[in-house]
Amino acid sequence: MRKAKIGLEVHIQLTKLKTKLFCSCPSDYRDKPPNTVVCPVCLGLPGALPKLNEEAVKMALTLCLSLNGKVSRKVVFARKHYFYPDLPKGYQITQFTSLGSSPVCQGGQLVMRVDGREKVVRIRRLQLEEDPGRIVWPRGKASEYVLVDYNRSGIALIELVTEPDMETPEEARAFVEKLRSLVEHLGICDCELEGAMRVDANVSVEGGERVEIKNIGSIKDVEKALKFEITRQSTLLDQGGRVERETRHWDAERRVTVGARSKELEEEYRYMPEPNIPPYLIEEGLLEQAKRELPELPDQRIKRMIKEYSLSEYLASVLVIRDKRLADLFEEAAKLYTNYKRLASLLVVDYLRWVEELGLPLGKCVKPEWLAELLSYVDRGKITLEQARETVLPSMLRECKEPSRVIEEKGLGVVRDVDKILSIVRKVLRENPKAVEDAKKNPKAINFLVGQVMKALRGKADPRTVRQMIESELGMSARHGSDG
Ligand SMILES: [Zn+2]
């Protein structure tokens, strides 16, 4: 595959705002009947005047500061014209870097780790703009007409544009993950909400033109869409073809990018200053206050967690970057359970795996006290770690039940009656003379016997104890590290 250059445009809805960007309609438009969270301003009715939501500016300010960007002291808006049914005014109120208008933030950088390396991605700019409405195809792409829902129209959006500093789809994914963690720690966006974070990617490979991929709706799809596109462009060039400058759409279902209308040139948008919103001045005092009030950011939190809980950098980073709620869950549970390493790896290794496998949203049916309870059963020898990870945890998540109930209902628990285990060990040894001979020659062959005993005990014993018993019955000395 050829070397690639990737730049991203990320749209982040300020979901934590109470109202839209230029009117007093509530921001919470999801699951509302179509066209009920609207007013003359966000419907673009003639004569309706927009009024800037100052809280939105403050939120954009905190993101700018945490990216080490340069805050514009005069926030000016511009009109970007295009004709599409989701945009009732015929223009979108946004920001622009000319005509005396400037975006709320310029420059800055985001530092992330990819495969253990540090990677710096420069930020070009960050601007405030309004979200358009939503087009609904009542019968999929075959629809003869479309419906328009203006509930989303006027929702405050931050558009963040990076320099083309990323070289692989993995780096692009890591960028979006880190950015998501950042805005969640700043408390400006709950990115889990559908459509709250949307990505457009610009990608070119050596010897080809730049292609823009629009409409990428999830972090995982950022990586998939870019992989597809880099392969497509490389193959085209390798076969002697050309990569044209164009806009493509990501089709998440078919997992391909498809060609779309040719890209508008900047001048076709006929940018002009927005005359209905006076410039908003950011005073020194406001800027200082925003700096003072910045909450703990992901990098600081990772450092603190490494120190406070003696976690590895890997565990702390996954907890914080993968999803803020994961780190919150860990820290709440850590108040109740102090084997922090075991707790962190239960979350990072097992919990994330089950969430993925069961297709559950993160945070569903899991409580800090349940995690603490689950692991203390393991510590007290009531159940094995294996049972906790493979049986209790998934049932807990699937059925929303506390660990004690799962253990009771499934009849789990460790058989601690040594005589009972020993009698089963002896029975298995009697019934498997060939395996016993093998085991005497090759210690690895003991695994089979351990498995037979565990099966007879329905998994309710500690495999290490079983192994030691078998070894002692066979007259072998207990081996260190044989439980691996
Ligand atoms: Zn409104």
Could you tell me the CATH number of the domain that includes residue 426?
A: 1.10.10.410
Is residue 442 a part of any domain in this protein? Answer: yes
Do 166 and 260 share a domain, yes or no?
yes
Is residue 429 a part of any domain in this protein? Answer: yes
Q: Rounded to the nearest whole angstrom, what is the distance from the C-alpha of residue 139 to the centroid of ligand 1?
A: 28
Do 116 and 205 share a domain, yes or no?
yes
Q: Rounded to the nearest whole angstrom, what is the distance from the C-alpha of residue 155 to the centroid of ligand 1?
A: 9
Which one, of 22, 150, 31, lies nearest residue 77 by Cα? Answer: 22
What contacts 24+ positions apart, CB below 8 Å, involve 42-46?
42/130, 42/150, 42/153, 42/154, 43/88, 43/150, 43/153, 44/87, 44/88, 44/89, 44/90, 44/153, 45/88
Q: Rounded to the nearest whole angstrom, what is the distance from the C-alpha of residue 440 to the centroid of ligand 1?
A: 79
* pLDDT computed for residue 484 by the predictor: 35
Q: Cα(206)–Cα(169) distance, rounded to whole angstroms?
A: 15
Q: Rounded to the nearest whole angstrom, what is the distance from the C-alpha of residue 131 to the centroid of ligand 1?
A: 12
396 has pLDDT over 50: yes
169-197 core/surface letters (b: 16 or more CB in 10 A; e: else): bbbbbbbbbbbbbbbbbbebbebbeeebb
Q: Rounded to the nearest whole angstrom, what is the distance from the C-alpha of residue 23 to the centroid of ligand 1?
A: 5
61 has pLDDT over 80: yes
Among the ranges given (160-164, 341-345, 353-357, 467-471), the one the predictor scored with the smallest mean pLDDT: 467-471
Q: Rounded to the nearest whole angstrom, what is the distance from the C-alpha of residue 351 to the centroid of ligand 1?
A: 41
Is residue 186 a part of any domain in this protein? Answer: yes
Q: Rounded to the nearest whole angstrom, what is the distance from the C-alpha of residue 20 to the centroid of ligand 1?
A: 7
Average pLDDT over residues 203-222: 90
For 418-466, write each residue's pLDDT tens digit. 788 888 899 999 999 999 989 888 888 888 999 898 888 777 777 888 8
Residue ending a domain, among 364, 384, 409, is: 409
Among the ranges given (134-138, 196-200, 286-290, 297-301), the one the predictor scored with the smallest mean pLDDT: 134-138
Q: Rounded to the nearest whole angstrom, what is the distance from the C-alpha of residue 63 to the centroid of ligand 1?
A: 25
Q: Rounded to the nearest whole angstrom, what is the distance from the C-alpha of residue 186 to the centroid of ligand 1?
A: 25
Q: Cα(104)–Cα(64) distance, rounded to whole angstroms?
A: 8
Neighbours of 154 (CB within 10 A): 31
Higher pLDDT pick, 360 / 160: 160
103-122 core/surface letters (b: 16 or more CB in 10 A; e: else): bbbbbbebebbbeeeebebe
Q: Rounded to the nearest whole angstrom, what is the distance from the C-alpha of residue 38 to the centroid of ligand 1?
A: 4
Q: Rounded to the nearest whole angstrom, what is the distance from the C-alpha of residue 12 to the centroid of ligand 1?
A: 19
Q: Rounded to the nearest whole angstrom, what is the distance from the C-alpha of residue 135 to the centroid of ligand 1?
A: 18
* pLDDT computed for residue 262 by the predictor: 55
Q: Rounded to the nearest whole angstrom, what is the distance from the C-alpha of residue 190 to the centroid of ligand 1?
A: 21
Could you tell me the residue range of the domain that residue 10 belongs to?
A: 4-289
* pLDDT computed for residue 483 by the predictor: 42
Structural domains counted in the chain: 3
Which one, of 181, 223, 165, 167, lies nearest residue 199 by Cα? Answer: 223
189 has pLDDT over 90: yes
What's the whole-number average pLDDT of the chain? 90
Sign, CA torsion 86/91/95/98: positive
Do 285 and 334 share a domain, yes or no?
no
Residue 467: both structure tokens together = 């192994």
Q: pLDDT category, 7, cuts 50, 70, 90?
A: very high
Is residue 306 a part of any domain in this protein? Answer: yes
Q: Rounded to the nearest whole angstrom, what is the distance from the C-alpha of residue 50 to the centroid of ligand 1?
A: 9
Is residue 304 a part of any domain in this protein? Answer: yes
Higher pLDDT pick, 28 / 458: 28
Do 97 and 77 share a domain, yes or no?
yes
Q: Rounded to the nearest whole angstrom, what is the distance from the C-alpha of residue 150 to the centroid of ligand 1?
A: 9
Q: Rounded to the nearest whole angstrom, what is the distance from the C-alpha of residue 52 to the centroid of ligand 1?
A: 12
Q: Rounded to the nearest whole angstrom, what is the distance from the C-alpha of residue 294 to the centroid of ligand 1?
A: 30
Q: Rounded to the nearest whole angstrom, what is the distance from the C-alpha of residue 56 to the centroid of ligand 1?
A: 15
Do 427 and 394 share a domain, yes or no?
no
Q: Rounded to the nearest whole angstrom, what is the distance from the C-alpha of residue 193 to the centroid of ligand 1?
A: 20
Do 337 and 469 share a domain, yes or no?
no
Do 435 and 404 share a domain, yes or no?
no
Do 66 and 208 share a domain, yes or no?
yes
Residue ending a domain, among 360, 382, 409, is: 409
Q: Rounded to the nearest whole angstrom, what is the distance from the C-alpha of residue 21 to the centroid of ligand 1?
A: 9
Q: Rounded to the nearest whole angstrom, what is the distance from the C-alpha of residue 86 to the centroid of ligand 1?
A: 14
Is residue 478 a part of any domain in this protein? Answer: no
DSSP string, 389-425: IIIIHHHHHHHT--HHHHHHHTT------HHHHHHHH
